[in-house]
Amino acid sequence: MFNFSSKTVTNKVWKLTDFLKFIKADKTMKTSAINISTVTLTNVLNEKNTGLPTCENIKEIYFMELTLTDRVVPLEFIKHLDKKILFQTVYTLIYENNVKIMLTYKTIDTDKATFTKHYETKWLTNIAPTTPLNSSLSDTLKDITAIVTEIPFRAEESFRTYIDRLSEIEKNKKMIIKSEKEINKAKNPKEKLIHHEKMKQLKIFDAELRS
């Protein structure tokens, strides 16, 4: 999926049993990881190997690859692993020719990470390699996040503002679905017209949020 400079490549591969021992996994992680065959740290991006400036919250970006035996997402495993990695982390899940990209933006302190909402793509096939290196590690992570959410960052938009905007998009999407149901249930033309106008305004707002 991602194609970075050879300087960033680690390709450290663990069998699942070895990795669970390595991270001292608890029962929840072990149960969730039942369909993982291998775990690979494919790349690490930092200032030294990319030449890109960092910021307080994004000093390194880890890229983890999980090879699966089926399409069930080991979400609890990923959530628990994310807590153990005090760097921004991007996960690529692979099942046969299917690929899913996942990430959660973290606010990182000295010894703990605070999480925002979890984001993921659909299961995808025939994915062309991409190299989303930007002018800084922060902007690189923004580009990767936009690949996952399919919503681009605005100029100079912070992660916090972007995440709030994604929440508004999700909230507005639910209102659109509700409005569609109201249109279908409406008994008379006047009532339908009111709901159609409401739907129109919601879709205009959706387009504004996504731009």
- CA distances 129 to 32, 68, 125, 132, Å, are 29, 20, 12, 10
| pLDDT at residue 124, as a whole number | 92
77/126 same-domain check: yes
Domain assignment present for residue 1? The answer is no
Model confidence pLDDT, tens digit, residues 155-180: 999 999 999 999 999 999 999 999 99
| pLDDT at residue 48, as a whole number | 95
Count up the domains in the chain and report the number. 2
Count of CB atoms situated within 10 Å of the CB of 122: 9
Domain assignment present for residue 157? The answer is no
184/145 same-domain check: no
Domain assignment present for residue 47? The answer is yes
CA distance 61 to 82: 12
The 3-class SS string of 13-48 reads EEEHHHHHHHCCCCHHHHHHHHHEEEEEEEEEEEHH
Locate 2 and state its tokens: 């991602």
Q: Is 157 helix (H, G, I), strand (E, B) or coil?
A: coil
64/141 same-domain check: yes
Count of CB atoms situated within 10 Å of the CB of 156: 6
Q: pTM of the entire structure?
A: 0.89
- Show the domain range for 31: 6-150
Domain assignment present for residue 61? The answer is yes
Q: Is residue 129 over pLDDT 90?
A: no
Residue in this structure with the two tokens 């992570």, named with its chain if needed: 141
